[in-house]
Structure 1
Amino acid sequence: MKRINVVGTSGSGKSTFSRLLASKLDYPYLEMDAMFWKANWQESSDEEFFSILKRQLSQDCWVLDGNYNRTALIKWQNVDCVIWVDYSFSRTLYQAIKRALLRSITKVELWKNTGNVESLRKSFFSRDSVILWTIKTYRRNRVRYSEMFQDPNYRHINFVRVTNPKMAKAYINQLRSDRMT
């Protein structure tokens, strides 16, 4: 397992899981949001985004964090494993709210050299709210990934569904054990 894509609804914990997984495997951690977002919350064109993604995925091994469903043909062409972080709606929403609140208070730059930070207004009182996005996409993502996991076009991929933090921790610990033997 050398090329892994971790997917899940915003707030599901996919970035935390991806970073931990990349660290345990000693693989590069690739964040799709960092590839997509430019300074001042400007979006990359598909041409720019796809070019960056292809370049990053040309490495021998990686853990790719992110959905961007329009990129499935690119990112899943040579992927070995797709891990779906699929926690309950209540847990995912709680995590999204907690993360948005912390980011709004700390004003931490989300992606290097972009200046992009979350604000209370943007996170909680905007049509672009990540919390609203989580609410709107949770069920749709569950249907989409359930279907994609069954799609014969992706039979070359090992699909893993992680449904709670205990299962996620056990999965990573098992990988660590497997590498030591």
Structure 2
Amino acid sequence: MQRVMIIGQPGSGKSTLARKLGERTGLPVVHIDTIHWQPGWVERSRDEKTRLCHEVEARERWIFEGGHSATWSNRLARAD
């Protein structure tokens, strides 16, 4: 298992699960919030979020936690 996709409703424990799984497996964890928001809580454009998601999805190893459903199909195709 090298690529894990975690999705769910807000407050459902996605971030906690991703963090704990990352600790156990050594896989790097990416939280969608770090892609969605720029410093100062400024929302990135949809195109920028999509570009950043694609960069992560292209990596060989990841735990990707969160939404941005516009890129779910790409992420799901790469997930183990």
* TM-score, length basis structure 2: 0.89
As a proportion of its length, which structure holds more helix? Answer: 1
Q: Does 1:64 align with 2:64?
A: yes
Aligned equivalent of 2:12: 12
| Percentage of pairs with the same residue | 28
Aligned equivalent of 2:47: 47
Query: 1:167-178, aligned counterparts within 5 Å?
Result: none
The Cα of 1:39 is off from its aligned counterpart by 2.5
The whole-number CA distance in structure 1 between the counterparts of 2:72 and 2:56 is: 15
* TM-score, length basis structure 1: 0.42
Instruction: Give the unaligned 5+ runs of structure 1.
Output: 81-181
- Largest Rg, 1 or 2: 1
Aligned length: 80
Task: Report if the CA contact (8 A) 2:27-2:61 is conserved.
Answer: yes
Amino acid in the other structure paired with 2:21: L
The Cα of 1:33 is off from its aligned counterpart by 0.8
DSSP-derived class of the 1:72 partner: helix
The whole-number CA distance in structure 2 between the counterparts of 1:45 and 1:73 is: 19
Q: What value does the CA root-mean-square deviation take over the aligned residues?
A: 1.2
As a proportion of its length, which structure holds more strand? Answer: 2
Task: Report if the CA contact (8 A) 2:7-2:14 is conserved.
Answer: yes
The whole-number CA distance in structure 2 between the counterparts of 1:57 and 1:8 is: 18
Instruction: Give the unaligned 5+ runs of structure 2.
Output: none
Task: Report if the CA contact (8 A) 2:50-2:70 is conserved.
Answer: no
Superimposed CA distance per residue, residues 160-179 of structure 1 (whole angstroms, 9 cap, x where no aligned partner): xxxxxxxxxxxxxxxxxxxx
Superimposed CA distance per residue, residues 29-62 of structure 1 (whole angstroms, 9 cap, x where no aligned partner): 0111101101232211121111111112222111
